[in-house]
Amino acid sequence: MKKAIFLILFALLVLTACGTKDAGEEQATPEGNQATDTEMASEEETASEEQTVRTPTEEDERFTELLLARDYETVIKETIGFDSDSQKDFYNLANALKKHDEIQAKSYVDESTNEMNYADIISDYKVIVRYINKAEYIPEEMTVEFDELKKEAEEKAAQNQEELDKQTQAG
């Protein structure tokens, strides 16, 4: 009985050590971050190349019309099932545009302290970038709009990150 308990404990110890080692390998080092950034850049380039490959379907054209009409809710409702690649793409695009509109109307000032909540601003802009990056297809008539939106979101996230860093250093 004692040997069985000892063996079980030993097995748990070995498994725990292996699990910890795997988790430690996943933690990023500065060099690891650079590799990750490079991988992300190549994934974005691949996604950009894929955007031009697909021929628009009737479904794509219908969702494009809805996006151009700024009817994000209808697009989101009709695409939430992710039944096709088209639905996945338009779900992400509609959410990016919807999030942008929400940001424009949102106040990031904490009423009790009267200070800006930079972390929320950064998070919201990064959400826009993520949605756009997830879309493998962007309608030709909206490519410029999404490129500008993505660029704006990345710039605003970076600007607000600088402000947050200044605030953190001053505090």
Closest by Cα among 68, 110, 117, 62 to 86: 62
pLDDT in tens, 80-118: 999 999 999 999 999 999 999 999 999 999 888 888 999
In the prediction, which pLDDT does 111 show? 86
Which residues, 6+ apart, have CB-to-CB distance to 51 below 8 Å? 135, 136, 137, 138, 143
The band of 169, judged by pLDDT with boundaries at 50, 70 and 90, is: confident
pLDDT in tens, 138-155: 999 999 999 999 999 999
Identify the three-state secondary structure at position 28.
coil
Q: What's the DSSP call for residue 56?
A: P
Q: Is the pLDDT of residue 2 over 80?
A: no
In the prediction, which pLDDT does 30 show? 39
Extended strands (E) in 6-97: none
Residue spans of the domains in the chain: they are 1-53, 55-171
Determine the Cα–Cα distance for residues 89 and 138; give it in Å rounded to an integer.
Answer: 7
Q: Classify residue 171 as exposed, middle or buried by CB count within 10 Å of its CB (0-12, 13-18, 19+).
A: exposed
Q: How far is CA 14 from CA 20, 102, 124, in A?
A: 10, 50, 42
Of 2 and 26, which is predicted with more confidence? 2
| 0.85 surpassed by pTM | no
Question: Looking at the DSSP assignment, which residues form a beta bridge with residue 116?
Answer: 109
In the prediction, which pLDDT does 34 show? 41
pLDDT in tens, 9-58: 555 555 565 554 444 443 443 334 444 444 455 555 555 444 446 889 99
In the prediction, which pLDDT does 13 show? 53
In the prediction, which pLDDT does 171 show? 61
Which residues, 6+ apart, have CB-to-CB distance to 141 below 8 Å? 64, 68
In the prediction, which pLDDT does 118 show? 92
